[in-house]
Amino acid sequence: MTTADLAPGAAAARATDAILHDTVHGTERGVVVDSPPGAGKSTLVVRAALELAEAGRPLMVVAQTNAQVDDLVLRLAEKNPDLPVGRLHSSDTDAYDKALDDLPQVRTSAKAADLGALPVVLSTAAKWAHVKVDEPWRHAIVDEAYQMRSDSLLAVAGLFERALFVGDPGQLDPFAIVGSEQWAGLSYDPSASAVTTLLAHNPALPQHRLPVSWRLPASAAPLVSDAFYPYTPFRSGTAHGDRRLSFAVPSDGSGPDRVIDEAADSGWGLLELPARHTPRTDPEAVRAVATVVRRLLDRGGAATSERAPGRPLPLTADRVAVGTAHRDQAAAVRTALAELGVADVTVDTANRLQGREYDVTVVLHPLSGRPDATAFHLETGRLCVLASRHRHACIVVCRAGIGDLLDDYPSTEPVQLGTLVKFPDGWEAMMSTWDHWSEHRVVWRP
């Protein structure tokens, strides 16, 4: 029997059990887990950490950002308030979330030696790189390992004997701010992802995959799976009727309202503005994004989900996010939202939205208004992050003409000998998502 025949919960439980078994009882030095968006990666990390701690193995946890580390510490403390946890942090001001100070079992320090005796110590890869130890940790968990660069794994790999590597292969690849073509094709290319290097040198390591996305609704999982994970499909943990988004205030017939209704109904909405070449911070598109957000909040949205069937929760500003490709676009959207009197809505770039979850997201399409399609804008991971942050619906705002633009600019990245070609390429993913979204198109002239 394959996992596809099982109920989502059973399939996920089976995968998790296999992962934990390999991690705690396996003989290999590493275990790799691929996790699609919202598949319970953090839950898995917390469970693995608790089991390793229970087995009496000193554990270090490596995450990529301070926010991720703090989040893991809080989750660990919530699951097991008796487990002493160390939070290693940098000596900057505000190096960690002050909420940790309220937890008696969490000890914070900027020196690893202060925390050495604790069963679990967590920090960022950047901080771990400065730690020197005589005796390596028995075990490590490396979180967001696909977003970690090979060179930063090189700096910390000497600290542990064995490790569990967890991450999402579909999200943004790590990048370098200078050219690194010189090392392309080498198994240890320092600009490649940590997992790529790890598997190139240790191809026999057990690899697992979490098969169910609990975040993405049934309307989104098939598209995201087909477009971004064609060879490692996953499915939604919920069925079509499990989630509902409704609005108390009826549509006023405007473009933003119609696209909101389309998205509430089908999970996707595409608000298409007239074709035009614009600067990155396209004022009309930015205003359209802000208007959609404003109307989402004004219309008294309510979201029903499997977590509380029959009890709709209000769609508040903290459950809505706006995603963009560039920081200046995010800044422009923030300004536009402030002008419309909207506060507390998260507006960020794809890079910063990684790992976050909202009920509804509004996305400014990376290619909107562009005269060309560069490798940056075609990057698979960027679009994947933007299209997979939502539990209920995703609204894409875009200038018309993406299809033509893609036809004019096929991918032209040079193929390097010895590198793994990533499938699907960004162009292909752009095209397939665009085809799908076109079915939910609302044409609007602001």
Partner 1 sequence: MSLITTLARLEAVSSGRAQPVATVRHRHLSARPLVFVPLTTAGEAGAPLGALAGTDRDAPRLLVVPQPRDRDLRFTFLADLADTVLPYIDSYAGSVEAAERTETDPETGQRVKVEAELCADAPQLIVPSRAGLDFVRLLGRSMRFRRTAEQDPEAPYPAPPRVPLLGRWLTHYGERSRVPGSSLLLALTDVLSRHWASGQSALEDQHLGALLAWIDPPEGGCGAAAARRAELARDAAGQLLCPPAGPATDPAFDNKLLAPAIERYDRARTALAAAEDALAADDRLAALTAAEREVRDLVASRTRPTWDAVWRGLDLLRALPEGAHAEERWTRDRWSFTGHRDRVLAGEPPQPRRDDAVTAANKLATREREQARLEAQEALDDPLVMAGRRLAGEAFTGEVTDVVLAYSEGKRPSPRPLVTVRTDDRPHLAERAKVYRSLGGRPQSAELAGQEADGVLVLRVLDKMGRGKEPEPGSVPEKGDRICFTLFEHEQRGGARLPDPEDTPWTHGGPPGEPAPEAPDTVTEEDVL
The H or E element containing residue 298 is: helix 283-298
What is the C-alpha separation between 426 and 423, in angstroms, rounded? Answer: 8
- Taking the complex as a whole, the smallest distance from the CB of residue 14 to partner 1 amounts, in Å, to 28
Q: Which regions of 30-157 does DSSP assign to beta strands (E)?
A: 30-34, 59-63, 85-88, 106-109, 120-124, 137-142
Contacting residue, 23, 35, 66, 197, with partner 1 by CB under 8 A: 197
Q: Residue 23 interacts with partner 1 (CB under 8 A)?
A: no
- Taking the complex as a whole, the smallest distance from the CB of residue 5 to partner 1 amounts, in Å, to 36
Structure tokens at 441: 């198109």
CB–CB of 354/329 below 8 Å? no
Contacting residue, 191, 225, 304, 388, with partner 1 by CB under 8 A: 191
What is the C-alpha separation between 98 and 81, in angstroms, rounded? Answer: 17
Subset of 266-285 contacting partner 1 (CB under 8 A)? 279
- Among 406, 393, 392, residue whose Cα is nearest residue 434: 406
Contacting residue, 22, 71, 189, 379, with partner 1 by CB under 8 A: 189
* Residue span binding partner 1 (CB under 8 A) among the ranges 112-120, 259-267, 326-334, 377-385: 326-334
Give me the residue label for tokens 């600290």. 159
What is the C-alpha separation between 411 and 426, in angstroms, rounded? Answer: 8
Q: Residue 184 interacts with partner 1 (CB under 8 A)?
A: no
Closer residue to partner 1 in complex, CB, 64/191:
191
- Taking the complex as a whole, the smallest distance from the CB of residue 105 to partner 1 amounts, in Å, to 27
Reduced to 3 states (helix: H, G, I; strand: E, B; else coil), residue 442 is: strand
Give CA separation, 443 vs 117, 169, 275, 366, 446, in Å: 61, 34, 11, 18, 10
Subset of 141-180 contacting partner 1 (CB under 8 A)? 150-151, 153-155, 157-158, 176-180
- Taking the complex as a whole, the smallest distance from the CB of residue 327 to partner 1 amounts, in Å, to 6
- Taking the complex as a whole, the smallest distance from the CB of residue 45 to partner 1 amounts, in Å, to 19
**Phi and psi of 372, rounded to 5°?**
-140, 165
Q: Residue 204 interacts with partner 1 (CB under 8 A)?
A: no
Subset of 88-117 contacting partner 1 (CB under 8 A)? 94
Q: Residue 129 interacts with partner 1 (CB under 8 A)?
A: yes
Contacting residue, 67, 103, 183, 233, with partner 1 by CB under 8 A: 183
- Taking the complex as a whole, the smallest distance from the CB of residue 177 to partner 1 amounts, in Å, to 5
- Among 420, 380, 422, residue whose Cα is nearest residue 186: 420
> Residues in the site for partner 1, rule: CB under 8 A?
29-30, 94, 126, 129-130, 150-151, 153-155, 157-158, 176-180, 182-183, 186-191, 194, 197-198, 201-202, 279, 327-328, 331
